[in-house]
Amino acid sequence: MYSMPKLLAAVALRDLRIAQRRASDTLTPLAFFLVAASLFPLAVGPERETLRAIAPGVLWVMALLSCLMSLGRLFEVDHRDGSLEQLMLSAAPLPVVVLGKVAAHWLVSGLPLTLLAPVLGLQFGLDAAALLILTLGLAIGTPALGLIGAIGAALTLTARGGGALLALLVLPLFIPILVFGAGAVQAAQSGLGANAHLSLLGAVLAMSLFFAPLAAAAAIRISLE
């Protein structure tokens, strides 16, 4: 009988060790986020109000694309070495395995993005309140991106040209997170409360935590059959 917390921690730690050995793959999405977001102030110009207006959308879109870049590798290594099939055939609950892998993915991808975003927000002239809401929104939204993206990564696991297909599958599902996350920052900039947007992000995360591991586990079984 497996202890769910121990299994979750073991899978996450294993994936973290793999990510440490593949540091270049881990750092590439973060470098993309940093460079791509920094290009916008150079292209748009130094007008403070313009930069403040575009900041929520730019930072959230760049964070979303950075997460998407790393989703294709979520199950790839385990599928290539055969360990994913062994996990599927073992007594370990596959949804818990998926949740552990998503947790590791967030620690190496979503959490650094969340911590980098306020620094990039300073380039756009965001004030302290907007930076706080941006950070809170990304802290809630990036795990949801990883959970929803895990479904697409599982469905495209054995597909040819899986990266493009993955983007087509999950980008429409990312739209509510993008709208609520960017809307929270815009509300903070306007002096309105961002609680409603953050609450909706939290609801999306709660639903993703419940449904996404089950759906991703079913998708893995379909892909490997």
Domain parsing of the chain, residue ranges: 4-224
Query: What pLDDT does residue 161 have?
Result: 63
The whole-number pLDDT of residue 10 equals 86
Between the two ends of the chain, the Cα-to-Cα distance in Å is 26
| The predicted structure's pLDDT at residue 173 | 93
Sorted by sequence, the CB contacts under 8 Å of residue 187 that are 6+ apart come out as 133, 193, 194, 196, 197
Averaged confidence pLDDT in the chain = 88
Residues of the chain with pLDDT under 50: 1
- pTM, rounded to two decimals: 0.90
Structure tokens at 45: 């110009």
pLDDT value of residue 134? 94
- The reported pLDDT for the residue numbered 58 is 92
Tokens 């599982």 locate to 154
**What pLDDT is stored for residue 32 in this prediction?**
92
Quote the tokens at residue 155.
């469905």
Residue with tokens 């973060």: 30
